[in-house]
Amino acid sequence: MSTHFIDETRRNPSHAILAGLWLAPVILAATLAVTEAARIMIPPPDLNAVASVRTRAASHRSDAPGLEGNIVLALVIDSSHPATLYAGTLWGGVFKTGDSGASWNPTGLAHTGVFSLVIDPTNRATLYAGGNGVFKSTDGGRSWTAIDGDLTELNATVALVIDPTNPATLYAGTSYGSVFKTSDGGATWTAVDSGLPADSIYSLAIDPTRPSTLYAGTYQGVFATSNSGRRWSGVSSGLGESSVNALVIDPSHPATLYAGTPRGVFKTTNRGKRWAAVGSDLNLNSLAIDPASPSTLYAGGDGVVFKSTDGGASWSGLSSGIGAAFVNALAIDASNPARVYAGTYAGVFTSVDGGASWTGASSGLTARALSRRTIA
C-alpha cells in the first residue's frame, strides 16, 4: 500500500488536496456523480493535484506493452499458485496475472482505487481489497461484493490484514485514524481504535504466532495492541517524529519488526519497546521480508529498491531497469525467493535474480476510464 501521496500533501494543509491527490479515482468519480459523492462524503476534488499525479505517472512509464500510466499501489501473491498475482491500482481497480506478470487481465473490480490486498490463507480463491470501502471476492477476482456496510469511513480504507489462524477475522485501517475489525469475513465490522491518534493508518501488521497482537504504522509512529484492537498504545521509542509507511514482522522471530519511514528503516527486537535505525537516508514507502530467509529484506523508495541480507545491518541499492519509478509495493515469491515484484508509478517490474536487475511486467495493465464506484 502506498502512502507517498499522503506524505507529499502533508506539507500542504489543504485536506481537499489530500483527498484530490490520494483518492484521485474516487474524487474524479464524484465530479461525475454528485449524488454518489454526497452519499460517501467525499471532499471537493483538487483537479490540479490529480493532474500532477497523472503527469508524473506518464513520465515514468515502463517499456512493457499495454502500460498506460497505471500506478500500482498493492501486490499480493497466491502462494498456492505463485505465478498468480493480483495488483491494486490507483486508476483501474484490481488486475490479475497467471503467468508471473507476463500478461495481466482486469478482474471484476474496476473504476476505483485499491490501496491494499490480502488473500485468505486457507481458501486462495477468497481475497479482499481495500480502497473506497472494502470488497470481497470468493472466485479469484471474477466478481466482487462490497462488504463495508458497517464501516463509517468508506473513502479511505488503506490497510488490511488477515488473521492467519482464523481468516474470517480481518482488520481494516483508514486514513482517518480508525481500525475496524470483522470476525465474520466482512459481514459486520466494529471499530477497535481506542488509543489510536486521529490520523492516518498507513500500515498494519499482525503477529503470526499471537494474532491478538497487532501493530499500526501511523503519521505519529507505531502503535500496538495485545488484545485484538480493544486498546492501542504507542511503541515508538527511538523512532523519533516519523510517519511509518510500512511494517513487516520477522516470521521466525515475531518480536522483531521493521518499519519503513521517510527517514529510513528502523528495527525493533522487543515488539516495539525500542527501535533503532538500520538504514538511514532512505525515503521508503514499502518493505518485504523473505519468509524463507528473514534476514533478507527489500525496501522500496523513489526510483530504487534497497536490499539487505543481514537483517538490516547493511543495504545495497538495486535500481537497474526500474528507472525513476517510485516503488509503492513489493512482493516476494516464497517458492522462489529470487523472484521479486515491485509495484510502481509505472506499473509492475519483476526481478528473477534477487533484485540485481528488473524488467517491466505490465502487459495488459492498462489505466481504465473512471466512473462511479461499480462492482461487476
Predicted pLDDT of residue 154 = 52
Between 60 and 294, residue with greater pLDDT: 294
Q: What is the number of helices (H) and of strands (E) in the chain?
A: 5, 30
> What was the pLDDT predicted at 69?
59
pLDDT over 80 (residue 93): yes
Counted residue by residue, the chain has a size of: 376
273-314 tens-digit pLDDT: 999 999 767 788 999 999 999 999 999 988 889 999 999 999
Shortest CA distance to 226 belongs to which of 240, 239, 210, 241?
210
Closest CA to 182 of 133, 217, 216, 132: 133
Structure-block grid coordinates of residue 110:
474496476
CB 262 within 8 A of CB 302: no
Query: Can you give the pLDDT at residue 315?
Result: 93
C-alpha separations of 245 from 158, 200, 262, 266 in Å: 11, 10, 8, 11
Residue 354: Cβ-neighbour burial (10 angstroms; 0-12, 13-18, 19+): middle
Q: What is the mean pLDDT of the chain?
A: 81
Give residue 301's pLDDT: 87
Closest CA to 130 of 77, 169, 89: 89
Contact (CB, 8 A) for 279 and 286:
no
Segment 313-324 shows an average pLDDT of 86
pLDDT at 56: 39
Q: Residue 3's pLDDT is what?
A: 52
Pairwise pLDDT comparison (37 vs 109), residue with the higher score: 109
What pLDDT does residue 222 have? 97
Percent of the chain with pLDDT strictly greater than 90: 61
d(CA 213, CA 229) in angstroms, rounded, equals 8
**pLDDT category, 366, cuts 50, 70, 90?**
low
What are the tens digits of pLDDT across the range 155-191? 578 999 999 999 999 999 998 889 999 999 999 999 9
State the burial class of residue 184 (Cβ atoms within 10 Å of its Cβ: 0-12, 13-18, 19+).
exposed
pLDDT: which is higher, 133 or 337: 337
- Which backbone phi and psi does 48 adopt, to 5 degrees? -65, -40
Q: Where does 60-366 sit in CATH, by number?
A: 2.130.10.10
Q: In the prediction, which pLDDT does 283 show?
A: 83
The pLDDT of 23-43, averaged and rounded, is 33
Predicted local distance difference test score (pLDDT) of residue 341: 96
SS (H, E, C) 168-184: CCEEEEECCCCEEEECC
Q: Is the pTM of this model over 0.75?
A: yes
pLDDT in tens, 243-267: 999 999 999 999 999 999 999 999 9
Cα–Cα distance between 206 and 228 in angstroms, integer?
10
Contacts of 181 (CB under 8 A, 6+ apart): 169, 170, 171, 172, 189, 190, 191, 192, 228, 229
Is the pLDDT assigned to residue 221 strictly greater than 80?
A: yes
